[in-house]
Chain A
Amino acid sequence: MTLDNNRPWLKLQKLTFNRGERIILNNLSLDFRAGELTLLTGQNGSGKTTLLRILAGLLKPRQVGFEIAGNQRNWRQSYRYLREQICYLHQHPYLFDCSVYDNIAYGLKRKKLGRQAIGAKVAEALELISLEHLAKRNCHELSGGEKQRVAIARAWALSPRLMLLDEPVSNLDKRSRGICYDLINQLQQQQIGVVYTSHEPQTGKLNLSRHIHLYDGELSTKPLQTTYPPTVIDLVKERAGK
């Protein structure tokens, strides 16, 4: 669902980032609207993760400008706001060495909510990911798919405007991927913007708003792929059917 009528709440302008001599991101401009699901593709080392970390206010670029609610801001004026509004999830999300409940409550405690409000929000988050029964389990005892869902719930509980998911399904099996895609679609329905990175233009059942591709430090917009090339299994099924 693309919300083209909405004005962008965040505009990124003239972003440049380099490591030594090598330019990773070259003069990029990008804007974000509420509930927009963006697929960001690019090869290994193309700068996808770097772009996400800059967006999340975790990495300072060489040059950037932001337009936030119509006001021009530089990095120094923006990074705290970005950290408040945007949640970044690593490719392999880091869960703290404590229970699922405490992990989800981590950010809520930083917002200084009362114990009851935290409990209610954590319960809601656990319901979202259907892991209510694992609330007291230590996060190191979870499977990869469960960890990914807990990390999404932990970010969702903070009601961010944008979630940055760095290859969230790269190491998950088919079932866990499906659950993750459903979760991401739910985030979009709740008007939470999502940037989803992948090497592949195929993203299963995701309800994408746009597809941007990062190559050689520059962004290009790609047409959305509504049909996907058949998999080997599809071809076998098709032949068996005939």
Chain B
Amino acid sequence: MESLSAASYQALYLLFTGDSSLWTIIGISFSVSVRALLYAAPFGILTAFVLAYFRFPGRRLLVSIFNTALSIPAVVVGLTLYILLSKAGPLGAWRLLFTQDAMILGQMCLCFPLLVAMAHSALQASDRRAWETALTLGASPLRALLTILHETRFGLIGALVASFGRIIAEVGSSMMLGGNILNYTRNIPTAIALETSKGSFAEGIALGMVLLFMALFLNILLGQVQGKGEVIQ
């Protein structure tokens, strides 16, 4: 087993020399997670808005369900979707298993509750006068909704960043639904798991560094955006 320093050095070498297999894995990872977030975000934010701004029977139960869903392990989501998407399953005809689309579906299921819970908190804390003010100034309900989203943008960006962080680093669902196929469904977390099991630490460390740098970058970005909000308020 190579030493940690030697493996780290080789990891940096692989990253900065543009190792094609490594960068393909990084590309797949980002492409899948960004698409999953883009598909889930409109529904998630709309659900959060309805839960925060409208009163209807079962609303509190729904909020509790979404809060509970936050702690569902990725592997359980992967297993459930695996059963549904496998040939014998009810959605087998879709032929999605071991494709990027299946990974996207899994990641959407993972980030949706987090997105709803965090966006709900942000919208719940928003000022109700904003909604009435928009309406009394002639805005349609849809335009008033967009105004509310703009007013709560700092909280909503936080929800998006946290959701992205959750899905870019998850391994259970991607492994089960994507199958870890090289140049197709192998993403950063599944590649790290594979390389580590093979004893090839350099590639694992390089990919881990990418995840860490991304986490750092997103947190700095979030801090900047939220800091801007504080200055204004």
| Residue A83 CB within 8 A of the other chain | yes
CB within 8 Å of B: which A108-150 residues? 110-111, 138, 140
**Which residue of B130, B139, B140, B143 contacts A94 across the interface (Cβ within 8 Å)?**
B130
* Nearest residue, chain A, Cβ from B139: A110
| Residue A9 CB within 8 A of the other chain | no
| Residue A200 CB within 8 A of the other chain | no
Q: Are A94 and B129 CB-contacts (below 8 A) given A138-B232, A140-B232, A140-B233?
A: yes
Cα–Cα, bound, A232→B195 (Å) = 85
User: Would you give the 0/1 interface string for A70-97, flagging 1 where the beta carbon is closer than 8 Å to chain B?
Assistant: 0000000000000110111010111011
Q: Are A83 and B135 in contact (CB under 8 A)?
A: yes
Q: Are A106 and B232 CB-contacts (below 8 A) given A97-B150, A97-B151?
A: no
Q: Are A155 and B150 in contact (CB under 8 A)?
A: no
**Which residue of A58, A84, A94, A138 contacts B127 across the interface (Cβ within 8 Å)?**
A94
Q: Are B137 and A106 in contact (CB under 8 A)?
A: yes
Cα–Cα, bound, A94→B233 (Å) = 13
Q: Are B132 and A158 in contact (CB under 8 A)?
A: no
Cα–Cα, bound, A87→B132 (Å) = 10
CB within 8 Å of A: which B131-187 residues? 132-140, 143, 147, 150-151
Give every chain A residue within 8 A of B130 (Cβ-Cβ).
94, 96
Q: Are A154 and B150 CB-contacts (below 8 A) given A88-B132, A96-B130?
A: no
**Which residue of B129, B136, B147, B233 contacts A83 across the interface (Cβ within 8 Å)?**
B136
Q: Are A110 and B138 in contact (CB under 8 A)?
A: yes
Q: Are B133 and A158 in contact (CB under 8 A)?
A: no
- Nearest-neighbour CB distance to chain A for B94, whole angstroms, equals 43
Q: Are B137 and A87 in contact (CB under 8 A)?
A: yes
Chosen A-B contacts, 19 in total, with CB atoms closer than 8 Å, are A53-B132, A57-B135, A58-B132, A83-B135, A83-B136, A83-B138, A84-B138, A92-B129, A94-B130, A94-B132, A97-B150, A97-B151, A97-B232, A97-B233, A106-B134, A106-B137, A107-B139, A155-B137, A158-B138
Beyond A84-B138, A93-B129, 20 extra complex contacts between A and B, CB < 8 Å: A53-B132, A56-B132, A57-B135, A57-B136, A88-B132, A90-B129, A90-B133, A92-B129, A93-B133, A94-B127, A96-B130, A96-B133, A96-B147, A96-B150, A106-B139, A111-B138, A138-B232, A140-B232, A140-B233, A154-B137
**Interface of A toward B, CB cutoff 8 Å:** 53, 56-58, 83-84, 86-88, 90, 92-94, 96-97, 106-107, 110-111, 138, 140, 154-155, 158
**Interface of B toward A, CB cutoff 8 Å:** 127, 129-130, 132-140, 143, 147, 150-151, 232-233
Q: Nearest 4 CB-CB pairs, A to B?
A: A107-B137, A94-B129, A110-B138, A94-B133
